[in-house]
Structure 1
């Protein structure tokens, strides 16, 4: 079983750039640590953000959520958002992929 997590939220207008900077720090650390079997993406449309996390090896997100930079990002998320982030977590079986780590 693999983990797929989708998180959506809207930042306060004056917090969107700070949120992006904190998010980018997570990606910098992930690249340095290079956890295997993980894909993680951040999408932005103005003040709306979407995070997509996929672990193709197991039903776990610790490869990202245990990073110190992710903990720093998560610490102030409520204050940066207009409403709490909405997360959808699924344990699924990958049938086929293109561009995902195997």
Structure 2
């Protein structure tokens, strides 16, 4: 399952959002859950964020959902966002080396 989450954080909460996300990624590095690929991107110079999550499980089974740091982030997200996040389940149309982090 692949999911794309798009959201915009209010300008005054961008720093808090990135602090909370860094805590999530630190926990992911520490716990190293299998079957999960999770990336978050910030559009340069804006409060727009994109998260791409790929999991072996179903929508509610992703390992990062069980992390206390992610639960803290999710609990604050509604208050720090300018509008509710949008979630899209993705189907692969094409794929060129997406699993290869070091293209030659």
TM-score by structure 1 length?
Answer: 0.81
Higher strand share: 1
User: Equivalent residue of 2:30, what SS?
Assistant: helix
Counterpart mapping for 1:1-102 below 5 A: 3-45=1-43, 46-55=46-55, 57-60=56-59, 61-90=61-90, 97-99=98-100
1:38 CA displacement: 1.3
Question: Would you identify which runs of 4 or more consecutive aligned residues in structure 1 move more than 4 Å?
Answer: none
CA RMSD of aligned residues (A): 2.1
TM-score by structure 2 length?
Answer: 0.80
Unaligned runs of 5+ in 2: none
Number of matched residues?
A: 95
**8 Å Cα contact 2:38-2:51 kept in structure 1:** yes
> How far apart, in 1, do the equivalents of 2:100 and 2:2 lie?
15
